[in-house]
Amino acid sequence: LQKFLILLHVTTCTIIGKTLMILFPNAMKRYILKLGEKSRMNENPKFSYENWGPTFFSFKYLLFVLKVKWKRLEDEAYEGHPAPNTPVVTLSGEARHLSDFMRDNRPLILNFGSCT
């Protein structure tokens, strides 16, 4: 049911966005460029709206957004429920899942850090 609702929402947004791009191309260009400012994408000297702007609200865009949103459904954790078995990559580049690192009844502890 969640995937169907996401499909309905993303498809509706894509259809509306594509329609607005056709009816009001300049206004949509300004809107998309304003979104790019928030992510500081416009600071990139190689940034060009003409290279990627028209891909907004395309079929490929729809498929990409669906893939990301459906994948995020698997990563949600809820208090009192089992943790998601998230895919991870080892230092050697091997794809594994968190449950692969559990041993007997020992708790699995994840420690996140940052090095800048």
Q: Please state which of the ranges 1-5, 93-97, 106-110 shows the lowest mean pLDDT.
A: 106-110
Angle at CA of residue 106, ends 100 and 108, nearest 5° = 55
pLDDT in tens, 39-62: 777 777 777 788 778 888 899 989
pLDDT-derived band of residue 11, with 50, 70 and 90 as boundaries? very high
pLDDT: is 109 or 24 the higher one? 24
- Would you call 57 exposed, middle or buried from its count of C-beta atoms within 10 A (0-12, 13-18, 19+)? buried
Tell if the pTM clears 0.75, that is, is over it: no
Rounded to an integer, the average pLDDT of 16-32 is 91
The alpha carbon of 9 is separated from its chain's Cα centroid by a whole number of angstroms, namely 15
Asked whether 84 and 74 are in contact (CB, 8 A), the reply is yes
3 is written with which tokens?
């995937």
- Which pLDDT belongs to residue 109? 82
Q: Which strand (E) or helix (H) includes residue 91?
A: none
